[in-house]
Amino acid sequence: MKHLLSIISMLIMACSATFAQEITVKGMELSGNDLSARTHQKLDLNNKPCALVKVQLVLPNAQFEGNVLDSESHSYGEYWVYMSEGSKMLKITGINALPLTVRFDNYGISNIEGNTTYVLSLSVPQNVLDFNASMQAGRLSFDEMDSDTLNASTYSLAAIEGDAFAQYALGRCYYYGKGVPKDYSKALSWFRKSAAKGSARGMHGMGVCFLYGQGVKQNYDSALLWNKKSAELGDSFGQTDLGYMYKEGLGVSQDNKKAVQWYRKSAEQGNALGQSNLGYMYEKGLGVDQDYAEAFKWYRKSAEQGNALGQNNLGIMYEDGLSVPQDHAEAFKWFRKSAAQGNAVGQANLGHLYMNGYGVTQDYEEAFNLFRSSALQGNAYAQYHLGVMFVEGLGTTQDIFEAFKWFRHSAERGYARSQYNLGVMYFKGNGVSKDLKEAKKWFRKAADQGHENAKKALESFK
């Protein structure tokens, strides 16, 4: 899969989970030979060395509570959490996953010691992984109030006095943690007050919280209700999210024609995401006759407003020559704009251009950096190419073990080329102990997706 065109609501993209799922503990142990707690020492508020808990968890933007002094995403799938000596528990939360409290004594550790490293292994259901991996390409579908300029002090008094817009804006402040601690429950409360006064924006804020499960249990029926109220009052963001719910069949029967109807209403008001999503429907022929020229028109409108998805999709139109002459330089221009905003798909596509020298001077190191940034957001296409670059030593030091790691991450997300490569590595014992049973398993997964070499590989097991 060369490209990853995506249709996305401002909230979520291709979400398969209907309710929050559980993070589960695989195990916890003292890592006696790991000196990281000493070599990367941090001190607590009493100037005593912290314990280091390495949390193995493939879940972006996980949060940690307890006697936590600091936490950081150290590498893909591993967080380093520094805790005060004597701590007995750690609470973990993540998007679309239920909170988990780990009590250390359940794993034979009465309390953790300073200057000591521990490993806590957790697992997450695949639908939660899919939700988060896809989410990294989008933004929440609020209006274009710049969240960086929000401050609760600006709106608090007016909100308390009953101003509907101020109540909505204060909800946004709690949502983003601007001038107040981030608190989705309080955000929901202020959105509700705003909605009760007939504010379409407040209603959309309610839809956001129910659709995303923030401050309240995820509920597609309630999300549909509030987004529909907002959309019918003319709010372009409510229209975009209502279109998305029809597109994905969330809380309503799947209906591409109704999705197009609501995307169009949003797009015609100038909503950049609505424009990008409408372009996608034309590009794919969903709910409308396929029309690359219309797709290009709407992608361009979205891209020129700075929407990262529109920029990426416009870049693809130029790279593949859809309704316009193929132009790698223009593709490079738009992929770079998308990537600069942190869009994982834009980063992966820009990495592809650098790796092959399309529209830009070939630069393996730049390609490696872009693929890595995208891969760390869970992009399977980028993870595959990162594995390739480690195998061949392109833009980085050759490292077969790192290659195996990234192929596995990609394979677990269903990317057929990585599944085949993983099968080869198990078959030959490259980067991992030889394991014919595992090799056959991954060849089978790739073959089931039509990978021809994987089909041939399976013949050797007969």
- pLDDT value at 408 more than 50: yes
> Alpha carbon of 32 to those of 29, 36, 118, 161: distances in Å?
9, 10, 8, 59
Q: How much is the pLDDT for 146?
A: 52
Q: How would CATH label the architecture of 144-234?
A: Alpha Horseshoe (1.25)
CB-neighbour burial class of residue 206 (10 A; exposed 0-12, middle 13-18, buried 19+):
buried
Q: State the CB neighbour count (10 A cutoff) for residue 130.
A: 19
- pLDDT value at 39 more than 90: no
- pLDDT value at 258 more than 70: yes
Yes or no: say if 236 and 270 are a contact pair by the CB < 8 Å rule. Answer: yes
In angstroms, how far apart are the furthest CA atoms of the chain? 76
Q: How much is the pLDDT for 40?
A: 84
- pLDDT value at 12 more than 70: no
In angstroms, rounded to a whole number, what is the distance separating the alpha carbons of residues 73 and 76? 7
> Which single residue is written with the structure tokens 């006064």?
197
pLDDT digits (tens, 9 = 90+) for 196-230: 999 999 999 999 999 989 999 999 999 999 999 99
> Which single residue is written with the structure tokens 């949060």?
63
Backbone angles phi and psi of 271, in degrees to 5: -70, 120
* Domain residue ranges in the chain: 21-124, 144-234
- pLDDT value at 231 more than 70: yes
Reference 370, options 388, 386, 356, 384; nearest CA is 386
Q: Give one word for 356, left, alpha or beta, with left for phi > 0 and alpha for psi -120 to 50.
A: alpha
pLDDT digits (tens, 9 = 90+) for 108-159: 898 899 999 998 988 765 444 443 333 332 334 555 455 555 677 778 888 9
Q: Average pLDDT, stretch 304-320?
A: 95
| pLDDT > 70 in the chain, percent | 86
> Alpha carbon of 150 to those of 144, 145, 169, 215, 406: distances in Å?
11, 8, 8, 20, 38
Q: How much is the pLDDT for 147?
A: 56
- pLDDT value at 4 more than 50: no
Q: Report pTM.
A: 0.69
